[in-house]
Structure 1
Amino acid sequence: MSRVGEILKAVGDFGPFQKRLVLITVLPCLSVAFHQFCQLFMVPNVPHHCDTSWIRAVGPNLTEEEQLNLTLPRDADGAYERCSRYSPVGWDLGSILAYGLNATEGCRDGWVYPSAQPPSLLTEFDLVCDRKDLHDISQSVYMLGLFLGSLVFGPLSDRIGRRPVILISILLQGLFGLGTAFVPHFYVYMAFRCVVGASVTGITMTLLSLAAEWIGVSQRPKAVLISHCCFAIGEMILAGLSYGIRHWRLLQIAGSAPIFAFLFYMRVLPESARWLWWRGHKCPNTGSPPSPCPGEMFTPRKLLVTKLLGWAPRANQSCPWVPSACFDSLAFYLLKLKPEIQSKPGSVLDLFRKKHLRKVTLIMSCTWFADSLAYYGLSLNLTNFGLDIYLTQLAFGAVEIPSRIVCIFILQWFGRKKTQAFLLLLSGLVCLVITGIPEDQPVVTTVLAIIGKFTASAAFSTSYVYSAELFPTVLRQTGLGMCSMSARLSGILAPLVLLLDQYHPAIPMAILGSVPVVVGLLCFLLPETRGTELADDTGDTHPPAEVRENANSSSEKGHVKGKDGGQDNECTKTTYF
C-alpha cells in the first residue's frame, strides 16, 4: 500500500468526507447526460415539402391542395414527394391546367413545414433531403469534441491537477452550452457542440480519477458506478424535459444554464492527495512547518498533502484531537514513514514503452472502442426502433440504473476481467440478434435494444472502474485519456455507421454487434485487479512479476522486518501489471 493509501486507510477511506465528495462529483453528470443526447429531440421527423409559392403569382386564388397537386410530383405510394417539385414555368394558369408540368428539380426555394410545429433544428436549419445527413454529421462533430477533450484534458489533468481541469471544463460547458441556444447558423452550432463535447470529457474523466484516488479499494467501484447511475437519471430527466419543452433553443437553455451553479460550490472540491504526493506541487503561503516536525525535513509537498488529508479525518471523525493537533499528528506520521522511491512524472510514451502497460493500453483502448460503439450506436438509433422516442429514451435511461447497480455486485463477485469480457460479448450478441428481426416488429426490436443498452451500459461502467485500477497514479489520467480517445473515435464513427442503413437495414447493427464480440474475447488477456491497491508509479523499480509475488507473500505474512531500525514496518503492497 502506498503512503497516501496508508493514511487514507487510517483516517477512513469511505467516510462522510468521501461520501460528500462522491455527491459533489456525481451531480454534474446530470448535465452531461443532457448534452450527450439532447440533439435527438431537436431534430423531430416532421412532414415537409418543397416551397412552391411561385405558382401564387399566376394563380392567387388556388387552394393549398390545388397548389400542391399542380406543383408537386407523387411517389409510388401516391404521397407528395418531399424533396422535389415541378420546375417553374412562365405560363399562365390556364396553360398549366391544360398541359400540366413534367420537368422536376430539387427544392431550390426551400421547404414548407407545418405551421403548428415548434421551432426545431430540422425546421430552422432545413436538415432535410440532401441536408438530412448533417444531423448525423453534427453528432459525429460532437463526438469529435469528446475525442479532443480526451486528447487535451487527460494529460493536462496529470500536469496541473484534477481540480483545475474540472473547473475549466464546467466553465466551458456552461458558456458554450448556453451559447449554442443563440447560434445563427448550423455550422456555428456544430462548432459550439464540439467545444461542449470536449468539456464533457474533461468533467467525466477527471471526476472519475478524483473519486478513485480519494476512496479505498473496496468502495471504489461503488463510488464510480453511483456517478453512472446519476448519468442515467439525467437521461430520464432529458426525456421529460424534451417532452415538455419542444422549442429547441429553450430546451438548450434549460439544459445548459444549471451547470453554472456548480461553479459556486466547486470551491470546496479538494485536489487529489495522491496526485499531489507524486507530482510534488508546492503549497503557497504554508508558513513554517508544525512544531513536532523538523523544518529541514518537512517538504512543502508533504505539508500540502497533510493539510488536504487533514480534511478527511475531521470530516470522518476519525481524529479525536482538535484540528491543529490532528494536523500536527498527521504531519509527524508522514515524517516517520520510510521515504518512497520517487517516480518521474509519466508521459504518453510510457504507456507503450513498458511491456505491461503497453498490453493494458492496447486492450483497454479496444475495449473502450467497443463499449462506445455499442452504447452510442443503440442510443443514437433511438428514432429508428419504431416506438415513441420519449418513451424509448425514458426506458433507455431507466434500464441503465439497474445495470449500474448490478454491475457493482458483479464486479465484486466475479472480478473485473470476467465481468468486462462477458458484458461485451452479451451486448454484441444482442445487436447481432436484432439484425434478424423483421421491420414490422418494432416492439421486439425495442425490447432487444433495451437489453443491449443494459449490457452496454454495464460494460462501459466496468471499463471506467477497470481502467482506473490498471493505470498507475502518475499515468492514470493519461491512460484514461488514451482509452477515452479510443471511445470517442468510435463515438465519431457510430452516427456514420447508422447512415449505412440506406444500403441495407441490417448493416449498422451487424457492425455494432460484431466488434464487441471480438473485443470481449481479448479482455481475457488482461490481469485481474479486484481487491488490489492502486499502483502509484510505472514499475521502474521492480519487474511486475516480482512485485506481485512480494505483494502476495506480504499479505500472507502480514509484516516483514525493516532493514533500518529493526522495527516492524508494514510491507508496501503495490500492484503492477
Structure 2
Amino acid sequence: MVREDNCKVQRGSQHARSNVDRHEASLHSHSLSLEMLLHRLMTTDTKQDDTFVKILLMIGKFGTFQWRLVALTFIPNIMLAFFMFADTFMFTPQKSYCNTSWILALGPNLSEAEQLNLTVPRNSKGSFMTCHMYLPVSQDLDFIIQFGLNYTDTCQNGWIYPDTKKRSLINEFNLVCGMEPKMETVQATSLTGLLIGALFSGFISDKVGRQPVILLSLLGLIIFGFGTAFVNSFYQYLVFRFCASLAMASYTISSISLTTEWLRGEHRAHSTILGHCFFAVGIMLLTGLAYGLPHWRLLFLVGGMPTFLFISYIWILPESPQWLVVKGKVKEAQEVLCYAASVNKKTIPFNLLNEVRGSRPGVTKASVLDFCNNRQLFKVTLVMGGIWFAVSYNYFMLSLKMKELGMSIHFSHVIPGILKLPARLCCIFLLARMGRKWSLAVTLFPVTVISFLLLIFPEELNSMMILMVALGEFSLAITVTVLFIYTPELLPTVLRATGLGLVCLASMTGAILALTIIRYTPHFLPIFLSCVSAILAITFTSLLWETKDQPLSNSLEHFPLLRFNVTMTEDTLSGDVFEEAARNAILNTQIPRLDSSSDLSEEAARNTTLNTPTHTVSSTALKHFEDKEADSQAP
C-alpha cells in the first residue's frame, strides 16, 4: 500500500510538473508576444518625438531663429533681477529728528545745529533723541537760550533727516519711531508673491500656452514694476511689490518651458546659462544705479523704463510647437515650424511636416491630480521639490549671513553678482563632462562642507567667514543653474510648467522658512539645518536619472500610471484603436490566474504563480497583435 501510495504521489507530482511545464511554455510564448507588443507600442509612442527631432534638425540646430528666441526670452532677466532685489536699497538706515521748525519763527538765522540743540532733548549718552522734542513756548528766543525748555513730547510735526543725502522710503513715508518696516516682512511679501505666482502660473501656462503667460507677465512688470515709482504710501508699495513678484514667477516658469521645448541638447543648457548670466548683469546694474541715483523713485523710473520695449513681444515671440502638438493644434504648430525654418533660411520637407499630428483624445489630457496618480511623476516632483527647497534655504541663509558679517549694502551685492558670472560659465564644462545628475551632486557637496565649517568656526574670524560665505554663494549659483536646466527635462510637456511651478513653490517655502528661522531661533540652528538639508539634497539626487542628450517627454505615456480602468473588446482592436487598447491593457496588469488541474498540489500552484511574469495582456489583444504581425510579414 505504501508503494502504491508513493507511486500515486509520484505520478501526481509528475502530472503537476507537466502542468507547470505547459503553463510555463504558454506563458513564455505570451511573454515573447508581450515583448513584441511592447516594442511596437514604444515605437508608436516615440514616432511623434522622432518626427519632431527631425524637424528641429531641418530647421537648424542654433540658427538665427534660435538666437533671437534666446535673446527675447532672456533679456527680460535683467529686469527680473532689478525688480527682485530693489527692496534692498529702498530701506537704508536714516537718522531722523523731530521737525522743530517752529523755533525758526523766533530765530530765522539759527543754524541747524543750534536748532537741534535748543529744541531736541538728549539721551543719557548725550545724543539727540530721535522721537522726542521740546514743546513750543510763547517766550522769545533770548529767554529760550537763557533758560532752555522743559516739557517734552513725541514728534508732532513730522521728522527731518539732516544727515541724509539720498531719498528712500524711510524719509519719503516717515517710517521711523515705531513705524519702521521690518525687512523680513517686506521680503516675505515678495516671496509670497513669487510663491503664489509659481503655484498658479505653471498651471495656466500648461492650459493656455507659454506665449500668452509670458506676455501677461511682461505687462505685469510694466504696470507693477515701473509703476512702483508712483505709489503714494508704504502699503501701496507692498501691494505693487507683491504683484510684481507674481509677474516675475510667471515669466520665469513660462520662458524656461518655452526655450526648453524649442532647443535641443547642449543648446538648451547653454541658453539657460546665458539667461542666468543676464540675471547676474541685472544685479550689478541695480547696484550701480542705486549707488548713483539720489532718489528711490528715480531708481524705478530709470531702471524700469526698458520694460516698455517688451510690448513688441506681442508680434515677435513664438509659441512652443511641442505644446501646440500636445494640445492638438497641428495647423498652428506647422505654421510656427515653417516660420522658424524661413527665418533660418531652411526648408522642411512637406511629407515630414505632414507627419506632425496631434495626440489622440484622452492621452494628453492631464491635470494637477496626475502628480498624485502617476507614481513616477509624483516621485520626480517630490524629489526635485526637496532639492529646490534645500537650495533655496541655503541660498537665503548665506545671503543673510553675509549681511550679519557687517558687509556694506552695495559691496554685499556687487561681489556675489561678479562671482555669479564665472559660476554660470562653469556650468558649461560641468554639464559637458558629468551630465545633469552628477553636476547637481558635485555642486551641492561644497555647500555641505561650507555649512559644516560655518558651524564650527568662531565668529571672530570675520574675514574667513566672509570668504566661506562667498564660496558657498558661488557653488549655489552653479546649483541653481543646473536645476533650471535639469528640472524641465525631467517633466513631460503636457505638465512641464505646472511641475516647475510646484518645485518653485517648494523653493519659496524654503526661502520663507530661512527668514523665519534666522529671526526667531538660536544662531547655530539655521546653519545646522543648512548642513542637514544639503546632505538630504545630495541623497535625493541619487534617485533621479540622467537626461543629457535625451528627447523630451511629451505626454504621461512615458510615465507608468498607477491604474487604468479600460475595457477592451475584439471589435475595437483596429488601427490606432488597437494600439490605444493594447497600451491600456498592458498598463492595467494584474497577477495571472492559472487554471491548474485538481491534481496540482497547492504548494506547486503557489510556486508556479510566484515564478511567472506578472505582466500579462489579454489573449484577445495578443491574438489580434500576432495576426497583424503575421499579415505584415506575409509577402
**Could you tell me which residue of structure 2 aligns to residue 364 of structure 1?**
384
**Could you tell me which residue of structure 1 aligns to residue 168 of structure 2?**
120
* Cα distance in 1, alignment partners of residues 103 and 513 from structure 2: 44
* Cα distance in 1, alignment partners of residues 325 and 339 from structure 2: 16
Which of these residues, 464, 473, 481, is aligned with residue 493 of structure 2? 473
Identity of aligned residues (%): 32
Structure-2 change in CA distance of 1:565 and 1:422 (3 Å) = farther
- Kindly indicate whether the alpha-carbon contact (under 8 Å) linking 2:377 and 2:559 is maintained by their aligned counterparts in 1: no
Residue by residue, what CA displacement relative to the aligned partner does 1:354-379 show, whole Å, maximum 9, x if unpaired?
11111111121122222222334444
Residue by residue, what CA displacement relative to the aligned partner does 1:425-445 show, whole Å, maximum 9, x if unpaired?
423443453455666655444
* Cα distance in 1, alignment partners of residues 453 and 152 from structure 2: 42
Give, in angstroms, the shift of residue 183 of structure 1: 0.6
* Cα distance in 2, alignment partners of residues 73 and 183 from structure 1: 35
Which of these residues, 92, 95, 105, is aligned with residue 47 of structure 1? 95
Q: Secondary structure at the match of 2:364?
A: coil
Give, in angstroms, the shift of residue 508 of structure 1: 4.9
**Could you tell me which residue of structure 1 aligns to residue 255 of structure 2?**
207
* Cα distance in 2, alignment partners of residues 163 and 190 from structure 1: 28
**Could you tell me which residue of structure 1 aligns to residue 277 of structure 2?**
229
Which of these residues, 396, 406, 416, is aligned with residue 396 of structure 1? 416
**Could you tell me which residue of structure 2 aligns to residue 487 of structure 1?**
507
* 2:199 is equivalent to residue 177 of structure 1: no
Q: How do 1:317-328 and structure 2 match up within 5 A?
A: 317-319=345-347, 326=348, 328=350
* 2:316 is equivalent to residue 271 of structure 1: no
Which of these residues, 100, 104, 113, is aligned with residue 64 of structure 1? 113
410-419 vs 391-400, greater mean Cα deviation: 410-419
- Kindly indicate whether the alpha-carbon contact (under 8 Å) linking 1:382 and 1:389 is maintained by their aligned counterparts in 2: no
**Could you tell me which residue of structure 1 aligns to residue 242 of structure 2?**
194
**Could you tell me which residue of structure 2 aligns to residue 531 of structure 1?**
549
Q: Secondary structure at the match of 1:131?
A: coil
The amino acid across from 2:187 in the alignment is: Q
Q: How do 1:71-470 and structure 2 match up within 5 A?
A: 71-74=120-123, 79-80=127-128, 82=130, 84-85=131-132, 110-114=158-162, 116-128=164-176, 130-281=178-329, 301=330, 303-319=331-347, 326=348, 328-334=350-356, 343-379=363-399, 383-434=403-454, 442-470=462-490
* Cα distance in 2, alignment partners of residues 565 and 104 from structure 1: 103
Residue by residue, what CA displacement relative to the aligned partner does 1:319-347 show, whole Å, maximum 9, x if unpaired?
3xxxxxx4634434447x9x879623211
Structure-2 change in CA distance of 1:495 and 1:523 (3 Å) = same
Q: Secondary structure at the match of 1:219?
A: helix
Structure-2 change in CA distance of 1:499 and 1:97 (3 Å) = farther
The amino acid across from 2:384 in the alignment is: M
**Could you tell me which residue of structure 2 aligns to residue 8 of structure 1?**
56
The amino acid across from 1:304 in the alignment is: E
- Kindly indicate whether the alpha-carbon contact (under 8 Å) linking 2:423 and 2:475 is maintained by their aligned counterparts in 1: yes
* Cα distance in 2, alignment partners of residues 564 and 108 from structure 1: 97
Structure-2 change in CA distance of 1:347 and 1:112 (3 Å) = same
Residue by residue, what CA displacement relative to the aligned partner does 1:38-65 show, whole Å, maximum 9, x if unpaired?
1111221233345566888999979736
The amino acid across from 2:501 in the alignment is: G
Structure-2 change in CA distance of 1:80 and 1:328 (3 Å) = same
Give, in angstroms, the shift of residue 311 of structure 1: 2.5
- Kindly indicate whether the alpha-carbon contact (under 8 Å) linking 2:371 and 2:381 is maintained by their aligned counterparts in 1: yes
The amino acid across from 1:461 in the alignment is: T
- Kindly indicate whether the alpha-carbon contact (under 8 Å) linking 2:55 and 2:353 is maintained by their aligned counterparts in 1: no
Structure-2 change in CA distance of 1:508 and 1:563 (3 Å) = same
Q: How do 1:22-33 and structure 2 match up within 5 A?
A: 22-33=70-81
Scaled by the length of structure 2, the TM-score of the pair is 0.72
**Could you tell me which residue of structure 2 aligns to residue 521 of structure 1?**
539
- Kindly indicate whether the alpha-carbon contact (under 8 Å) linking 2:202 and 2:250 is maintained by their aligned counterparts in 1: yes
- Kindly indicate whether the alpha-carbon contact (under 8 Å) linking 1:137 and 1:496 is maintained by their aligned counterparts in 2: no
- Kindly indicate whether the alpha-carbon contact (under 8 Å) linking 2:121 and 2:134 is maintained by their aligned counterparts in 1: no
Residue by residue, what CA displacement relative to the aligned partner does 1:395-446 show, whole Å, maximum 9, x if unpaired?
1111111111112221232232232234234234434534556666554443
Gaps of 5+ in 1: 282-300, 320-325, 548-561, 568-577
Q: Secondary structure at the match of 1:181?
A: helix
Q: Secondary structure at the match of 1:271?
A: coil
456-465 vs 442-451, greater mean Cα deviation: 442-451
- Kindly indicate whether the alpha-carbon contact (under 8 Å) linking 2:132 and 2:152 is maintained by their aligned counterparts in 1: yes
* Cα distance in 2, alignment partners of residues 59 and 315 from structure 1: 75
Structure-2 change in CA distance of 1:49 and 1:241 (3 Å) = same
Structure-2 change in CA distance of 1:541 and 1:256 (3 Å) = closer
Give, in angstroms, the shift of residue 17 of structure 1: 2.1
Q: Secondary structure at the match of 2:264?
A: coil
Structure-2 change in CA distance of 1:414 and 1:183 (3 Å) = same
The amino acid across from 2:244 in the alignment is: V
Q: Secondary structure at the match of 2:207?
A: helix
Give, in angstroms, the shift of residue 96 of structure 1: 11
- Kindly indicate whether the alpha-carbon contact (under 8 Å) linking 2:95 and 2:164 is maintained by their aligned counterparts in 1: no
Structure-2 change in CA distance of 1:540 and 1:168 (3 Å) = same
- Kindly indicate whether the alpha-carbon contact (under 8 Å) linking 2:86 and 2:286 is maintained by their aligned counterparts in 1: yes
Residue by residue, what CA displacement relative to the aligned partner does 1:236-277 show, whole Å, maximum 9, x if unpaired?
111111111131001011122211102214521110011000
Q: Secondary structure at the match of 1:389?
A: coil
Structure-2 change in CA distance of 1:313 and 1:543 (3 Å) = same
Give, in angstroms, the shift of residue 222 of structure 1: 1.4
Structure-2 change in CA distance of 1:74 and 1:423 (3 Å) = farther
Give, in angstroms, the shift of residue 352 of structure 1: 1.6
| Superposed CA RMSD | 3.6
* Cα distance in 2, alignment partners of residues 211 and 115 from structure 1: 49
The amino acid across from 2:490 in the alignment is: L
**Could you tell me which residue of structure 2 aligns to residue 558 of structure 1?**
none
- Kindly indicate whether the alpha-carbon contact (under 8 Å) linking 1:140 and 1:493 is maintained by their aligned counterparts in 2: no
Q: Secondary structure at the match of 2:550?
A: coil
The amino acid across from 1:152 in the alignment is: F
Q: Secondary structure at the match of 1:47?
A: coil
Q: Which has the larger radius of gyration?
A: 2
Q: Secondary structure at the match of 2:542?
A: helix
* Cα distance in 2, alignment partners of residues 242 and 514 from structure 1: 36
* Cα distance in 1, alignment partners of residues 454 and 171 from structure 2: 32
* Cα distance in 2, alignment partners of residues 477 and 177 from structure 1: 23
Scaled by the length of structure 1, the TM-score of the pair is 0.79
